[in-house]
C-alpha cells in the first residue's frame, strides 16, 4: 500500500447471471465501510474483452447476454449450456494472451493493492495479467458457487488464495493443492448485509412489507424468484399455485424481465399477488414470505436461508451442472423439497406452509447466521495490507 492514498481493491466479475455481480456488490459494500479503503468494480468481458469474444460474431449477442436471455430465460435454453460453456472456455484460452496484456496495462495504471475475482474461467488470465507487477499485487478468488462443477473453473491449484462457502468446495481445493493457510472456508455464500439485517427484523418486517405490497398481513405468503432475469417458468408456477387449497398469496420477483412482469400482472389468479420488477429491496420482500420457490442457484438459496425460509427447488436432468449439487445439499440439509417440474410445485408448497413441516423448522435455524460477506471482506483487507504474505484463515462451513 502506497503511503498517502487509500487501500485500493479491484473486484472483477461477469454479468452472466446475477450472482457474480451480487457477490461483488456485497463485498464492495462491506469493504467501503472501512476507512481508507477504495473499491473498484470491473465487468471483465465488457471492459477488457468485448472485441475478443466469439459469441457476437457467431450469434449476434455476447456470451453474457446469451446466458441471461437464452440459457436462463427460455424453456429450452439449458440444452445449449454445455456447448456454450465449452465455447466460452476455448475462447478464453485462445484470447488469453491479449486479454492478459490489456488487464496488465490497466493494473499498471491503477496500481491496486489486491485484485479479487468473483467469476469462473478467467483466474489463469488474471494471474498472468498480474505477473508484470512481480508479486506485489496478490490475486484472491471468491467462489460464488457451492462447488466447482468443472475442473479448473474456479480452483487453480497451489499458490491460489481462495475463499469458498462450503466444506465440499474446500475439500476440492485441498485435493487440488491449495494450501490450508491460503484457504478461507465460510459458513455460507457471500450475500449483501441487508439480508442479515432483515432476518433480525423479520417479525416486524413480515406484516409491514405485506401491507405495503397490498397483501394481507397474516396470510401465508409464497415468494417466487428465478434469478435476476426471471424465467417464463414463473408462469407455470403461477398457474400451479392456483390449485392450493386455503388462503395463500404470492410475491413474484421478476428481476429485469419487464415482459414477464407484465404477463404475470395480467394473468388472472384466484389468489392475491404482488408482481415486482427489478428492486434493491429483495431482502425485505423475501422476509415477507413463508416459503421460496426457485432454482437451485447459490445466491438465491443463500439469501432465502439467511432469512430462515424453506425452499421448493426444481431439480431434474436439465438442471445446470453447477446447480445440481446445491439441490442435493438442500434436501440432505433438511431445508428443501424438490420437484421435477415447476408446474408440480403445489403439493410441495402446501407441505412447507404447515408450521410443523420439518424443512420449515430446520430452515429457521439458518436465519440471521450468514456473516460471509463480513468474514471474506476482513480476509481480503488483511491480504491487501500484507501483500499476500498472510491472512486470517477460517475453517467452519456447511456442506
| pLDDT value of residue 395 | 44
Class of 7-49+95-191+371-385 in CATH: alpha beta
Mean pLDDT of 155-183: 94
Domain spans, the chain: 7-49+95-191+371-385, 193-364
Mean pLDDT of 280-293: 96
Distance CA 255, CA 388 (A): 38
| pLDDT value of residue 208 | 97
Distance CA 359, CA 363 (A): 6
Give the global pTM: 0.90
pLDDT in tens, 375-397: 999 999 999 998 766 555 444 44
CATH number of the 193-364 domain = 3.40.50.2000
Mean pLDDT of 7-35: 94
Burial class (CB in 10 A: 0-12, 13-18, 19+), 192: buried
pLDDT in tens, 173-224: 999 999 999 999 988 899 999 999 999 999 999 999 999 999 999 999 999 9
pLDDT in tens, 98-144: 999 999 999 999 999 999 999 999 999 999 999 998 889 999 999 99
Is the pLDDT confidence value at 343 over 50?
yes
Note whether 7-49+95-191+371-385 and 193-364 share their fold: yes
Please say whether the beta carbons of 342 and 317 come within 8 A. Answer: no
Amino acid at each position: 500500500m502506497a503511503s498517502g492514498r487509500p487501500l485500493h481493491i479491484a473486484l472483477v466479475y461477469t454479468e452472466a447471471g446475477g450472482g457474480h455481480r451480487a457477490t461483488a456488490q456485497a463485498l464492495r459494500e462491506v469493504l467501503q465501510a472501512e476507512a481508507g479503503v477504495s473499491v473498484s468494480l470491473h465487468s471483465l468481458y465488457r471492459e477488457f474483452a468485448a472485441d475478443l469474444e466469439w459469441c457476437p460474431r457467431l450469434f449476434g449477442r455476447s456470451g453474457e447476454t446469451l446466458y441471461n436471455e437464452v440459457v436462463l430465460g427460455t424453456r429450452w435454453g439449458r440444452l445449449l449450456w454445455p456447448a456454450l460453456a465449452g465455447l466460452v472456455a476455448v475462447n478464453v484460452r485462445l484470447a488469453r494472451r491479449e486479454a492478459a496484456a490489456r488487464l496488465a496495462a490497466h493494473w499498471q495504471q491503477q496500481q491496486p493493492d489486491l485484485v479479487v475475482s468473483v467469476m469462473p474461467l478467467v483466474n489463469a488470465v488474471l494471474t498472468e495479467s498480474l505477473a508484470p507487477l512481480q508479486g506485489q499485487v496478490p490475486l484472491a478468488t471468491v467462489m460464488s458457487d457451492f462447488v466447482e462443477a468443472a475442473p479448473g473453473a474456479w480452483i487453480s491449484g497451489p499458490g491460489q488464495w481462495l475463499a469458498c462457502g462450503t466444506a465440499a468446495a474446500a475439500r476440492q481445493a485441498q485435493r487440488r493443492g491449495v494450501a490450508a493457510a491460503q484457504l478461507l472456508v465460510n459458513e455460507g455464500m457471500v450475500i449483501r448485509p441487508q439480508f442479515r439485517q432483515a432476518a433480525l427484523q423479520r417479525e416486524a418486517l413480515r406484516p409491514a412489507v405485506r401491507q405495503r405490497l397490498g397483501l394481507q398481513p397474516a396470510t401465508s405468503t409464497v415468494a417466487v424468484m428465478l434469478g435476476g432475469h426471471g424465467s417464463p417458468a414463473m408462469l407455470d408456477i403461477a398457474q400451479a399455485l392456483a390449485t392450493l387449497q386455503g388462503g395463500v398469496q404470492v410475491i413474484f420477483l421478476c428481476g429485469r424481465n419487464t415482459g414477464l412482469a407484465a404477463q404475470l400482472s395480467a394473468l388472472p389468479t384466484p389468489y392475491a399477488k404482488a408482481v415486482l420488477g427489478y428492486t434493491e429491496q429483495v431482502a425485505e420482500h423475501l422476509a415477507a414470505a413463508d416459503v421460496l420457490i426457485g432454482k437451485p442457484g447459490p445466491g438465491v438459496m443463500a439469501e432465502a436461508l439467511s432469512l430462515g425460509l424453506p425452499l421448493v427447488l426444481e431439480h431434474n436432468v436439465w438442471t445446470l451442472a453447477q446447480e445440481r449439487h446445491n439441490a442435493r445439499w438442500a434436501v440432505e440439509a433438511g431445508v428443501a423439497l424438490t420437484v421435477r417440474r415447476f408446474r408440480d410445485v403445489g403439493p410441495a408448497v402446501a407441505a412447507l406452509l404447515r408450521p410443523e413441516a420439518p424443512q420449515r423448522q430446520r430452515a429457521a435455524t439458518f436465519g440471521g447466521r450468514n456473516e460471509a460477506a463480513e468474514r471474506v471482506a476482513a480476509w481480503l483487507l488483511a491480504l491487501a495490507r500484507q501483500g499476500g504474505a498472510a491472512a486470517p484463515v477460517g475453517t467452519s462451513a456447511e456442506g
